[in-house]
Amino acid sequence: MKTRRHEASLMFVLTLCLCGLVRADQPDGVTTFTREFCVDCHGAGKQKGEFRIDTLAWKLTDSESREKWELVRDYVTKRDMPPKAASKHPSAESRKAFLTVIDDAFTQADREAQVGGTSVRRLNRIEYLNTVRDIFGLRMINLPASFPEDATRAEFDTMPAGLFLSPAVMEGYHDVATSIADRFAPLPDHPTYQSSLVTETIGGDAGRRWFGPKKEFLKFTGFNQSGWVGALWDSLFVARASGIYRVRLLANAQAESGADGKPLRLSFYAFDPTEEQLPKRYRLERATLVAEVDVPTGEPTWIECDVPVEAGETFHVYCANRFSPDEYPTGDLNRSEVSRELKKLINRPEPTVELREMKIEGPVDVPPRVRDFFGHWPPNLNRAELESKLLPIAEQAYRRPLTDAEVERLIAAVLRHGQQSGRTEFAWHYAIRRLLCSPEFLYREAEDSQVLSEYALASRLSYFLWSTMPDDQLLDLAAAGTLSEPKTLAAQTQRLLSDPRSQQFVKHFTGQWLGNRTVASINVCDNRYEWDDNVRYGFVRSTEMFFEEVLRENLPIATFIDSDFTYANSAMQVVWGMKSKRDKTLGAVAARQRQSLVWPEPERISLSSPPPATPAHVLARGGVLGLPGVLTVTGDGVESSPILRGVWVLGNLFGQEPPPPPKDVPALDVDTSQATNVRETLAAHQKIVTCAKCHRDIDPFGLALENYDAVGGWRNSYLNDKSPIDATATMPDGTQLNGAESIRKTLLANPEIFTRCLLTKLLEYGAGRRLSVGDQRVVDEIVASAPEAGYRLQNLIIAATTSKVFLAR
Amino acid sequence: MRSHTRRRFLQGAIALPALSSLLNAEERQQAPRRLVCAGTQLGWYKPDFFASNPNARLIAPFDTAGVGDKLTTVSGLDHKGPTGNGHELVYTLYTGQVNRSISLDQLVAPKLGTDTRYESLQLCAGEQRFNAPLSLNNNGIPLPPIIRPSVMFAKVFGGDAVNLRRQQYLLESGRSLLDEVTADARRLSRRVSREDQAKLDEYFSSVRDVEQKLARRRDWLDKPFAKPDPDFQLPGEENVAHSMMIQNEDLMWDLMALAIKNDSCRVFSLTIPLADGALILGDSLMAAGYHNLSHHGNKKSKVDDLISIEAAHMAGAARFMKSLKETVDVDGSRMLDNTTVLIGSAMADAAKHRRVDFPLLIGGGGYRHQRHISCGAEHEHKNEMACDLFVTVLQKLGFEMESFATSQSNLNGVLL
């Protein structure tokens, strides 16, 4: 009987299948239920919410199909579907029977599901830049501004979704490979630059120059954070070829010596004037001191200085020792305050250097590193030279030894180019471009095996924790075939974490998990909030430093939920009411922040023994929910959004990602005209069934955080209508929320939720894939075997890197 | 401030078209169609922008240049994007929507730019503060503009011989380079799973695309550049600081006119960037920064200063249009009538940071110019979308397209 029914349903399914209507693989326990209760709205005729169930693939080991069926189970379990208005409703029995079939199938699928499945992917922007900087020891390489962004909003930039290789990307790779080759093996006929400037034209931006009487000469101030006053000609000169530029200056010093007792001298700082989206101050932070020259007193004389500059760079010149570094205004000031302070500095009587004329000519020679690397210039070109100098570069680029065939092909091609062009420089230039355009360099983990090879594992580990290529030690272990041994892998993970390069992990993981990248670029309505670049810098750094403390001190991961410390820089402390006003005494600021000439670094604030008169809201800022950066990314810079905040909390602390809004409901088309505040607006939203399903889960967390404004400041009432803030909310299960504290309590009471969430994020970032159904079961095991007191961060990272998820391709 | 010899060039008599050598006989019959998309990031002072005001100070430069009958200002247009503070959204001007997508100029470039050395050129009047140029490619990626007049000059008239040899080497060796890395990819593709092989197809097709681009550059490498106009000279020292924006903008307008006249390129965008600093206008430094002035709060002195900057932008555009009007195209018509010029700003009102009802000006192009059209719900033209205007532009440029981005209709009835 049973068999026959099975056959009959098989026939039925096959028939439909031939008509192209139904996937043959849904079991009849499922189809009987869905045919009766679902397909009217989610079948061939109608697809409400753009969801169709009868053709939904029954492939529960596949995460995409699995997620959809989990959604179905969820809807049916919570009796959201069929909706109240539907004509037919299943009995409790048939509902239960349906859910049992699904649950059994899930369990079965979990046993069968494979771990792994990361697809081959190219290096992302950061990995690419770090890797070429490390291979070639270059201080400045940038991708062209046209280079597409990697990340998609929902995923890490280490995952394949954002890492497609479009023609624009390939062209970018080709151009940047050329510019690297230009620096490392300059072509013989490079463009040259020659110019002669008189007082009036030196210094670029007219508003920022400082002249002597009758504009006879230009006076220098010193190195300062804004670099706005002094001699600056980034807008006049940009090197078209890397090399030594000979700068001749008609100048004289006003005194024998400067603040440090040495002769007054000029310093040349090279930097890239075009770096994207960086305010000038950031640029200076990245400036490199490349040359200095002493200036004699007396009549103006011609002095000469050789300045090494990279293609695309320009330089600033300052009088290095007019003042001691303590005397300059530092980052605690806003822009107009800085200008004012600088003007005061200018008018002080300390002697400086006067400049009348300036000539720039070059390049007169290749950059020093070229001579260092090749021994002489032009370089030799023969097999031995290529084996000793080019092969190490190739092995770094490929992150593995080359095969014999690869070596032969590479050497033959380079030698051939040397012969054809008759110039050894051409051959080296070609070799570098060729390596950097190769898929062996651009792609990682290109192999077809269940478990990663040792070399691919070395790459995966180093890109995870350093965002750059593996070092010799990792490659040696890979060569010995021992890297994947659990003990070795754990020790290496520990080693990589203690290396300064792990700063990259802190930066890019917090940049994405905790939203720092968004904070770095968000536009904040600055006449509404106290906001400037110092505050922004504080937001970004306080999140990083918080994460770093948990990492370096190996604190329990529960610290992310609640902590007895936080970080804030001076600008944030002013906004938070911890300081009455900004400390504008130059000396005092400088003394406190000598470490950072440019930006005010956050300091650690103990919440258990706080400084006197610390406002109550600051005391309640433990964990990531108190970090203003996190609270800022969930708004638009003008107003906070309880929905975005709710989604953020749900996704990044609870590890649940609500599905995107259904396509047939325009996000803004809800009639909220009667609603007077955000709470009522959301309530109006929840009246629509399609919206309610998700907003019930999302909104409570956002509403509980309403005491924080769009930039994470504390408020007791709304800015617009002064109505008081109500931070209470009810979760779907009836739990009452009131303020951030209640979210912390919920999470701390169920530590496995956050453990799973963070572990999943770490693995997704590190292994570069959305976790498969099989991966998730491995995660379950790691979560279940958590120590009594919960994981500490380093231990959780080691648990991740030594897991089957990380080791699987 | 040195006075640029460029001025002489501008006063020059009607220039003869220098382009015919590169065109075949068939194309001689019909003049090429061209598009220039220009815009500021700080809006325009609307009461003086719209030609409905007979004394509009931003229209005066066009009247002075004798091209006042070759333009139409359009009010009431919008992309219907979310409002709010957002300089980052200024790029929406020619994309027509908030999602990053292709801009009008890039849409037409592949077709209009087939026969020229450059398919399109993106320019910016000196340094940018935001990476928010007007041109976005078909993936919605902002295209980096040329910010230096000297670079634009080299594009139009060719660089030095040294640069040419270098280019030659790079392009020639580029071919074998791409062959070799394609072979690498074929070998690599044998090592990976079937799904990954599909992923690697991206690599193959991208490399082919780069190869085609290199080939185009190789094709043009041997063809001589047009001789520089003897009356046009770049200033001795180039300065792309914000304070020199107007001077650089002038140079860019003039170089665009020259590029059109020697047919190096037919599609352009010109971004007039946000500048915090004070500009040098004429010979003197202004009292307040451009950004600051755009937030004028209706204070008369500030508005007047702002207008003087914006009138300087318009003076460049007017000179550009005049120069094209005085030039005879291959078919005997005036170049201006074959060149559509759009000028606007997606930041409708910088003083309020509003993005609705933004100002747009369409000039040249052979349209039935109206001086001014009022759009929007309360006016006779009910269309509200800037893209409706762009659809009309597309059709005028020879594209059989009924819609673009957020368009709902078109303005053919008024302008064609």
B166–A236 CB contact, under 8 Å? no
What integer pLDDT is reported at residue B182 of this predicted model?
96
Quick: pLDDT tens for A153-189.
Answer: 567 999 987 788 888 788 888 888 988 898 888 887 7
B35 close contact with A: CB closer than 8 A: no
What integer pLDDT is reported at residue B191 of this predicted model?
92
CA distance A426 to chain B (A): 8
CA distance B143 to chain A (A): 5
Nearest Cα residue in chain A from B141: A148
Q: From chain A, pick out residues whose CB is under 8 angstroms from the CB of B88.
A: 521, 523
Q: Letter for the amino acid at B177?
A: L
Select from A170, A191, A206 the Cβ nearest to the Cβ of B206. Answer: A170
What integer pLDDT is reported at residue A3 of this predicted model?
39
Q: Give the burial class of B3: count Cβ atoms within 10 A of its Cβ; 0-12 exposed, 13-18 middle, 19 or more buried.
A: exposed
Cα gap A10→A16, rounded to integer Å: 10
What integer pLDDT is reported at residue B61 of this predicted model?
97
CA distance B380 to chain A (A): 27
More confident residue, A193 or B342: B342
Distant-in-sequence, close-in-space partners of A214: CB < 8 Å, separation ≥ 6: none
Residue A769 has pLDDT above 60, yes or no: yes
Nearest Cα residue in chain B from A179: B170
What integer pLDDT is reported at residue A755 of this predicted model?
97
The beta strands (E) that lie in A413-470 are given as 443-444
Q: Count residue pairs from A and B with Cβ separation < 8 A.
A: 153
Question: Is B387 in contact with B404 (CB distance < 8 Å)?
Answer: yes
A446–B280 CB contact, under 8 Å? no
Residue A338 has pLDDT above 70, yes or no: no
Cα gap A105→A97, rounded to integer Å: 12
Quick: pLDDT tens for A566-590.
Answer: 999 988 998 898 886 655 443 333 3
Span A220-228, average pLDDT: 52
∠ at Cα A110 (A104, A111), nearest 5°?
Answer: 95
B395 close contact with A: CB closer than 8 A: no
3-class state of residue A585 by DSSP: coil
* Residue among A136, A752, A162 at smallest CA distance from A469: A136
Q: Which of A489-503, A625-639, B270-284 has the highest mean pLDDT?
A: A489-503
Mean pLDDT, chain B, whole residue set: 84
CA distance A402 to chain B (A): 12
A207–B243 CB contact, under 8 Å? yes
Q: From chain A, pick out residues whose CB is under 8 angstroms from the CB of B239.
A: 201, 204-205, 235-236
B199–A119 CB contact, under 8 Å? yes
B293 close contact with A: CB closer than 8 A: no
CA distance B71 to chain A (A): 33
Cα gap B361→B58, rounded to integer Å: 11
∠ at Cα A274 (A268, A275), nearest 5°?
Answer: 95
What integer pLDDT is reported at residue A209 of this predicted model?
60
Q: Give the burial class of A553: count Cβ atoms within 10 A of its Cβ; 0-12 exposed, 13-18 middle, 19 or more buried.
A: exposed
Of A126-140, A373-387, B134-148, B172-186, where does mean pLDDT reach its minimum? B134-148
* Residue among B354, B342, B349 at smallest CA distance from B387: B342
Chain B interface mutation, best of A165, A169, A190, A518, highest count of B Cβ atoms under 10 Å: A165
- Cβ atoms within 10 A of the Cβ of A671, count? 9
What integer pLDDT is reported at residue B317 of this predicted model?
98
Question: Is B20 in contact with B330 (CB distance < 8 Å)?
Answer: yes
Tokens 């000539």 identify what position? A359
Select from B88, B185, B210 the Cβ nearest to the Cβ of A523. Answer: B88
Using 50, 70 and 90 to split pLDDT, how confident is the model at A21?
A: very low
Cα gap A175→B144, rounded to integer Å: 14
B178–A235 CB contact, under 8 Å? no
A447–B191 CB contact, under 8 Å? yes
What integer pLDDT is reported at residue A492 of this predicted model?
98
Chain B interface mutation, best of A316, A414, A448, highest count of B Cβ atoms under 10 Å: A448
Q: From chain A, pick out residues whose CB is under 8 angstroms from the CB of B242.
A: 205
Nearest Cα residue in chain A from B86: A523
Quick: pLDDT tens for A258-287.
Answer: 888 999 998 888 877 665 444 444 445 567
Query: Buried b / exposed e across A173-196, counting CB within 10 Å, b at 16+?
Result: bbebbbbbbbbbbbbbbbeebeee
CA distance A665 to chain B (A): 17
- Cβ atoms within 10 A of the Cβ of B128, count? 25
What integer pLDDT is reported at residue A320 of this predicted model?
80
Question: Is B241 in contact with A204 (CB distance < 8 Å)?
Answer: yes
What integer pLDDT is reported at residue A597 of this predicted model?
41
Measured CA to CA in angstroms, residue A607 lies from A115, A618, A625 at distances of: 43, 8, 14
Both tokens assigned to B339: 């060149």
- Cβ atoms within 10 A of the Cβ of A411, count? 18
Q: From chain A, pick out residues whose CB is under 8 angstroms from the CB of B209.
A: 167, 170-171
Select from B139, B188, B202 the Cβ nearest to the Cβ of A165. Answer: B202
Phi, psi of A264 (to 5 degrees): -60, 135
> Do strands B267-272 and B34-40 pair parallel, antiparallel, or not at all (unpaired)?
parallel
Q: Record the pTM.
A: 0.78
B240–A417 CB contact, under 8 Å? no
Nearest Cα residue in chain A from B295: A527
Cα gap A781→A752, rounded to integer Å: 11
Q: From chain B, pick out residues whose CB is under 8 angstroms from the CB of A170.
A: 203, 206-207, 209-210
Cα gap A575→A529, rounded to integer Å: 9
B142–A146 CB contact, under 8 Å? yes
Q: Is the dihedral of CA A586, A591, A596, A602 positive or negative?
A: negative
Residue B24 has pLDDT above 70, yes or no: no
Quick: pLDDT tens for A467-500.
Answer: 999 999 999 999 999 999 999 999 999 999 999 9
Question: Is A144 in contact with A168 (CB distance < 8 Å)?
Answer: no
Using 50, 70 and 90 to split pLDDT, how confident is the model at B105?
A: very high
Span A23-37, average pLDDT: 79
Question: Is A600 in contact with A537 (CB distance < 8 Å)?
Answer: yes
B87 close contact with A: CB closer than 8 A: yes
Q: Letter for the amino acid at A788?
A: E
Of A523-527, A765-769, B137-141, B351-355, where does mean pLDDT reach its minimum? B351-355
Question: Is A207 in contact with A307 (CB distance < 8 Å)?
Answer: no
Of A11-15, A513-517, A677-681, B95-99, where does mean pLDDT reach its minimum? A11-15
What integer pLDDT is reported at residue A147 of this predicted model?
67
Using 50, 70 and 90 to split pLDDT, how confident is the model at A333?
A: low
What integer pLDDT is reported at residue B217 of this predicted model?
83
CA distance A312 to chain B (A): 13
What integer pLDDT is reported at residue A587 of this predicted model?
37
Give the helix ranges, DSSP H, for A687-792.
689-704, 739-749, 751-767, 773-784
Cis check: omega of the bond before A378, within 30 degrees of 0: yes
Span B65-93, average pLDDT: 77
Q: What DSSP line would sit under A66-108, residue for residue?
A: HHHHHHHHHHHHTT-SS-TT-S----HHHHHHHHHHHHHHHHH
B269 close contact with A: CB closer than 8 A: no
Select from A178, A277, A442 the Cβ nearest to the Cβ of B170. Answer: A178
Span B217-245, average pLDDT: 82
Select from A174, A236, A417 the Cβ nearest to the Cβ of B237. Answer: A236
Nearest Cα residue in chain B from A431: B177
More confident residue, B198 or B283: B198
Select from B130, B193, B237 the Cβ nearest to the Cβ of A448. Answer: B193
B188–A166 CB contact, under 8 Å? no
Residue B18 has pLDDT above 50, yes or no: no
What integer pLDDT is reported at residue A519 of this predicted model?
87
A168–B137 CB contact, under 8 Å? yes
Paired residues of A292 in beta bridges? A267
Window 183-222 of B: residues touching A by CB (8 A cutoff) are 184-185, 188, 191-193, 195-196, 199-200, 202-203, 205-207, 209-210, 213
Mean pLDDT, chain A, whole residue set: 83
Measured CA to CA in angstroms, residue A66 lies from A779, A795, B257, B341 at distances of: 17, 30, 60, 53
Paired residues of B375 in beta bridges? B381
Q: What percent of chain A has pLDDT over 70?
A: 81
CA distance A75 to chain B (A): 32
Q: From chain B, pick out residues whose CB is under 8 angstroms from the CB of A230.
A: none
Q: From chain A, pick out residues whose CB is under 8 angstroms from the CB of B177.
A: 430, 433-434, 437
Both tokens assigned to A705: 């955080």
Cα gap A705→A633, rounded to integer Å: 13
